[in-house]
């Protein structure tokens, strides 16, 4: 694997687009690792401190992810270095999409990512620029269908992503009008853990979990895990956190999800960040879901969790370990050799898979069909890894080797 990984990581990206906003200090990058299959795709994020190197790493991660989720296209990513709490954020995003419009119309597709909402921001902003749907470039560049079939696929995407989830088994609240885009990635992260325990012949009920982050991915993953009997014992995000070593009830997790404030935890008696960060890694748990920003999981965090019963890590965040390397750095390796690591390109491929599903012909645009397809895709990927290696360690390494062989 090491030789394949070196070739992939060191390959110069095909396109790097740099943007300097003329009205603020915002700076952005669009990186397309390759136009494999005639197109590339990857979400748009905005946060203070985004760098070109981060966007490049995420573009390469997306390319690997598409080997699991489909379609067979290149990886891309957009990142803007700007404070998402700044009231000028909306105008910055509009100017960014105007700058990359020719690329979005031709061979690149995007979606929501950190601090950028798919339904509320990306889709309407693209429509204002006469981009029917943010993945129009993928449909045109990769599928090369007739005008009629292109319109059909774009209509399926435009209908499916903002589809309100009404199945009571799939949504935490019918009244809140959660969409497929809100829930599907977190659902996939939870399903990856559920399938892991089934494939490796272990019982999931009453396992304990720590969750890092409380945005759409983290919150939804915790909710779906609580539904199958997993005890969420700790939650940490940038604003602070909570601990209950006996596990929060399913209703408590649901309430914390419904009462979020701007994608952050919002509960009474929340521990301040420094205190929760000192305590949470030392409580006993079998499951860890890193689902906040990239590169937050430090070696010391990992070592403390390993000492306290950790069995499986499901990477809800892209590139969650605090390594300099894009893939499989020293911290990732320690994790992979000691516990089961479900890599990001499998665990959080839910939205990418949903996009791929919507770009097929003769499909059902129903919540149960979409969620079932994502679950099946993740199960198949984990089963392929299990077939290659039966032991519950080095899952990440095995999965990466399988993916790289498809790319190189």
Backbone angles phi, psi at 126, to 5 degrees: -70, -40
What's residue 188's pLDDT? Answer: 98
At 324-355, the pLDDT tens digits run 998 999 999 999 999 999 999 999 999 999 99
Structure token pair of residue 126: 């693209």
Predicted confidence (pLDDT) at residue 232 exceeds the cutoff of 90: yes
What's residue 147's pLDDT? Answer: 86
What's residue 31's pLDDT? Answer: 98
Q: Exposed, middle or buried, 132 (CB in 10 Å: 0-12/13-18/19+)?
A: middle
Q: DSSP readout, 231-269?
A: EEEEEEETTEEEEEEEEE-HHHHHHHHHT-BTTB---TT
What's residue 145's pLDDT? Answer: 83
At 287 the three-state DSSP class reads strand
In a domain? residue 165: no
What's residue 59's pLDDT? Answer: 97
What's residue 262's pLDDT? Answer: 81
What's residue 280's pLDDT? Answer: 98
In a domain? residue 209: yes
What's residue 37's pLDDT? Answer: 97
Burial 64-95 (b: 16+ CB within 10 A, else e): bbbbbbbbebbbbbbbbbbbbeeeebeebbeb
139 lies in the same domain as 209: no
Is 306:336 a contact under the CB 8 Å cutoff? Answer: no
Q: Where are the extended beta strands (E) located within 160-319? A: 208-212, 231-237, 240-248, 287-290, 312-314
Q: Give the domain CATH number at 151.
A: 3.40.50.10860
Q: How far is CA 263 from the centre of its chain?
A: 15
At 107-147, the pLDDT tens digits run 999 999 989 999 999 999 999 999 999 999 999 999 988 88
Q: Which residues contact 49 (CB under 8 A, 6 or more apart)?
A: 81
327 lies in the same domain as 290: yes
198 lies in the same domain as 72: no
For the chain, state the CA radius of gyration.
20
For residue 241, give its domain range: 180-350+374-407
121 lies in the same domain as 234: no
Category of 323 on φ-ψ map: left (φ > 0), alpha (ψ -120 to 50) or beta: beta
At 44-66, the pLDDT tens digits run 999 999 999 999 999 999 999 99
Average pLDDT over residues 213-223: 96
Neighbours of 343 (CB within 10 A): 32
Sorting pLDDT into bands at 50, 70 and 90, what band is 1?
confident
First to last CA, the chain: 11
In a domain? residue 73: yes
Is 170:367 a contact under the CB 8 Å cutoff? Answer: yes
Average pLDDT over residues 211-237: 97
**29-43, 181-195, 258-272, 287-301: which has the minimum mean pLDDT?**
258-272
Structure token pair of residue 14: 């095909």
Is 266:260 a contact under the CB 8 Å cutoff? Answer: yes
Domain end, chosen from 127, 160, 193, is at: 160
Sorting pLDDT into bands at 50, 70 and 90, what band is 95?
very high
Is 136:42 a contact under the CB 8 Å cutoff? Answer: no
Higher pLDDT, 280 or 408: 280
d(CA 146, CA 150): 6
Q: Give the domain CATH number at 304.
A: 3.40.50.720
Partners of 47 in beta bridges: 81
What's residue 14's pLDDT? Answer: 98
Unique residue bearing structure tokens 């272990």:
202
Sorting pLDDT into bands at 50, 70 and 90, what band is 400?
very high
199 lies in the same domain as 244: yes
The pTM of this model reads 0.94
Sorting pLDDT into bands at 50, 70 and 90, what band is 293?
confident
Average pLDDT over residues 142-154: 90
Average pLDDT, the chain: 96
DSSP 22: S
Structure token pair of residue 301: 């965090």
What's residue 146's pLDDT? Answer: 86
137 lies in the same domain as 204: no
Average pLDDT over residues 178-195: 97
155 lies in the same domain as 189: no
Predicted confidence (pLDDT) at residue 195 exceeds the cutoff of 90: yes
206 lies in the same domain as 339: yes
In a domain? residue 240: yes
69 lies in the same domain as 189: no
What's residue 403's pLDDT? Answer: 97
In a domain? residue 133: yes
34 lies in the same domain as 84: yes
Structure token pair of residue 116: 């950028």
Unique residue bearing structure tokens 């979005």:
104
244 lies in the same domain as 152: no
What's residue 183's pLDDT? Answer: 97
Q: Which residues contact 345 (CB under 8 A, 6 or more apart)?
A: 61, 64, 65, 67, 68, 399, 403
């Amino acid at each position: 694997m090491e030789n394949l990984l070196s070739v992939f990581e060191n390959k110069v990206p095909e396109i790097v687009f740099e943007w300097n906003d003329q009205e603020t200090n915002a700076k952005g990058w669009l990186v397309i690792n390759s136009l494999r299959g005639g197109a590339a795709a990857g979400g748009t994020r905005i946060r203070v401190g985004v760098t070109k190197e981060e966007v490049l790493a995420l573009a390469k991660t997306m390319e690997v992810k598409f080997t699991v989720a489909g379609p067979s296209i290149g990886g891309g990513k957009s990142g803007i270095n700007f404070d998402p709490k700044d009231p000028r954020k909306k105008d910055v995003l509009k100017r960014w999409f105007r700058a990359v419009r020719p690329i979005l119309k031709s061979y690149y597709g995007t979606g929501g990512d950190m601090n950028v909402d798919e339904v509320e921001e990306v889709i309407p902003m693209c429509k204002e620029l006469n981009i029917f749907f943010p993945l129009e470039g993928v449909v045109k560049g990769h599928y090369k269908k007739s005008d009629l079939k292109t319109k059909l696929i774009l209509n399926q995407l435009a209908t499916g992503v903002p589809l309100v989830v009404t199945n009571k088994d799939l949504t935490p609240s019918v009244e809140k009008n959660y969409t497929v885009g809100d829930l599907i990635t977190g659902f996939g992260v939870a399903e990856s853990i559920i399938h892991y325990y089934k494939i490796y012949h272990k019982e999931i009920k009453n396992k304990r979990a720590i969750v890092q982050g409380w945005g759409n991915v983290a919150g939804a993953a915790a909710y779906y895990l609580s539904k199958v009997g997993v005890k969420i014992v700790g939650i940490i995000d940038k604003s602070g956190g909570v601990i209950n070593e006996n596990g929060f009830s399913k209703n408590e997790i649901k309430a914390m999800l419904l009462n979020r404030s701007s994608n952050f935890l919002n509960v009474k008696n929340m521990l301040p960040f420094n205190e929760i960060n000192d305590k949470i890694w030392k409580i006993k748990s079998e499951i860890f879901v890193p689902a906040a920003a990239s590169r937050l999981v430090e070696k010391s965090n990992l070592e403390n969790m390993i000492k306290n019963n950790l069995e499986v890590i499901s990477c809800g965040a892209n590139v969650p370990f605090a390594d300099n390397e894009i893939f499989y750095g020293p911290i990732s390796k320690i994790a992979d050799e000691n516990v089961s690591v479900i890599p990001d390109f499998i665990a959080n491929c839910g939205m990418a898979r949903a996009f791929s599903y919507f770009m097929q012909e003769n499909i059902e645009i129903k919540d149960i069909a979409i969620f079932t397809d994502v679950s099946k895709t993740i199960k198949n990927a984990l089963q392929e890894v299990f077939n290659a290696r039966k032991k519950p360690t080095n899952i990440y390494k095995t999965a990466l080797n399988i993916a790289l062989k498809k790319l190189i």
